[in-house]
Chain A
């Protein structure tokens, strides 16, 4: 067992929903991350899966303090990250980096690869030694499998996979210990995906990196993660070693998720039993009481409405699960029942709102 690099304790990130007459007022919150605790050990890969909108990215960003957590604790290598202020925090960022989902939008289209990479060095005042910088850029590019000639090019001149490599190189250039990779492959073509996944693995091996990999593709997560956390509507519902999770999913949601993933093998597919979940993920602005999953859970019981289950260690395998009836479901004592889909209206905050501006300025219109 290696040491813990990151500890997250009861992390909450709530986004205020604002509106107001002259000045904005908070009307409610989007409970994007609502009490997550986890640990990531040095050198391991922690995979985070869950449906869209369940708060994975927010958790990752909250961890890096790219969004300000509402409450909770983050400890990175013994440092209390949440207490870091301004310049302290900025300098601390060197140790934790991020790789983004969309390799195009996360690279400033106006900067050449060179300046993209140098930027981080500049920020940490490591760009004085010109020769050293060159060498560093070269070796970094090399480590992500790009030729040195890439330096003078611009992001849009690369293919998706190459762009993602640039994104990874940018994260690597400062020599971080932790990399949060937010859906690093989901925007990539299937044939490219493997390249990036392999690259991440290679880099971890050679540099001893620690990863928090966020993805919605369970297969990918399973492939690269040592530990997998399953998120649902802002909280962690289950956490286990990769194989363990696949072999013995405890939480009803995990079970459903696993059974839903299509497998490119007709023989397997033909034999599979599916647990079909009814309905959609509820809005994080208005989460159900008690167990967040109860509205879709085929095993839900009255208790689930009243009481929110804690994430607790289930047995000595270390597997953690947040369900009141884990044991009963596992033994088959509790039988699944029919669930009526509850209608979920899509995210309220996203509808375009009219009326905030006194006068709209469509500036593409000439005036007389």
Chain B
């Protein structure tokens, strides 16, 4: 039984006087206990919206969420808000992209870590602070006793992200959702954080949903990878699968278009034409069609369904990249 089962999750933003935006459209994926699942895609493809929808953290107004988010077989979307609050932070932790803005600037770090323990573990402030100290130490923040009294702005970006991780993992949740946790950081710091995350996840058996636009990050971290484009999952596969034999033209294009440090391919990079804004509505076919090299007449017309591949993955494409082993 999967720990998290997202089924046909859609989020539509509706703003007065503007066309509704389908930020996430029929997103489905599962996360098994202890598993690390990647969610990759370019900016604006709906990664954050999906994760927020799972957590029930989308702004209350101006959007419609449909589908199911089963966590332990409980649908989080239909849960009473107070029950959901009981789970957030305790069963599911979350870390965000920008560690500075994600920490309250006027509250000492210690309190921000401690309050989650007070809330879910019923600790007293004193006890919670003591525990918080241990947590900060565990995520590699030097001199944690002093840090407890400091404010977020007194820490560097990497340290802040560590603090956020400490908060998210304070109650030993079974699922951690990390939304681009390293995008705002330098590579050397990114390496520190990723290593830390991996260790913590491995040690505690926490499942991880890793959201990123960096293919390299998922390549080193995830068991399964979901590639998203314009609000939909277009391809899902185990990471070796995905990087070895991408089926969706978009996945393939992406992989070919990023320069790699380890091989100098020299000369021109492969490029995907157009830009992510060159979309057509999903109902009219594949959103990627305008940019796709493999587009065929069938790509335009009806919605293209996400269909399971025989290797346990899934694919949403009418004209996928052929593989050696025919599907």
Contacts and interface: CB of A to CB of B under 8 A. Distances in A.
A and B touch in the complex (CB under 8 A): yes
A269 B218 CA distance: 10
A226 to B, nearest CB: 12
- Chain A facing B: main interface SS: helix
Contacts of B272: 191-192, 194-195
A191 B262 contact: no
B261 A276 contact: no
B157 A343 contact: no
B255 A343 contact: no
Interface stretch (A20-28, A66-74, A159-167): A159-167
A259 B262 contact: no
Interface in A165-209: 189-195, 197-198, 201-202
A218 interface: yes
B279 to A, nearest CB: 11
B261 A261 contact: yes
Interface in B253-312: 253-255, 257-262, 264-265, 267-272, 275-277, 291
Contacts of A243: 264
Q: Interface extent on A, as a size class?
A: 35 or more
A230 B198 CA distance: 28
Contacts of A265: 219, 243, 260, 262
Contacts of B143: 343
Contact of A261 (B213, B216, B244, B265): B216
B260 A194 contact: no
Contacts of A190: 42, 213, 215, 254, 257-258
A213 interface: no
Given A193-B258, A218-B261, A266-B239, A256 B188 contact: yes
B318 interface: no
Interface residues of B, number: 54
Contacts of B218: 264
B106 to A, nearest CB: 13
A246 B259 CA distance: 14
Interface in B217-239: 217-220, 239
B154 A345 contact: yes
A335 interface: no
Contact of B219 (A51, A198, A262, A276): A262
B153 interface: yes
A346 B159 CA distance: 10
A274 to B, nearest CB: 6
Contacts of A134: none
A246 B192 contact: no
B275 A342 contact: no
B192 to A, nearest CB: 6
A260 B188 contact: yes
Contact of B220 (A191, A193, A270, A346): A270
Nearest to B160: A346
Nearest to A260: B191
Interface of A: 51-52, 159-162, 189-195, 197-198, 201-202, 216, 218-220, 222-224, 242-243, 246, 256-270, 272, 274, 276-281, 340-346, 351
Given A194-B270, A218-B187, A343-B142, 17 more contacts: A159-B275, A190-B257, A194-B271, A194-B272, A198-B268, A223-B265, A262-B191, A262-B194, A262-B220, A263-B219, A263-B220, A266-B244, A279-B142, A281-B186, A340-B142, A344-B156, A346-B153
A-B residue pairs, 5 tightest by C-beta: A262-B216, A269-B220, A223-B259, A264-B215, A260-B191
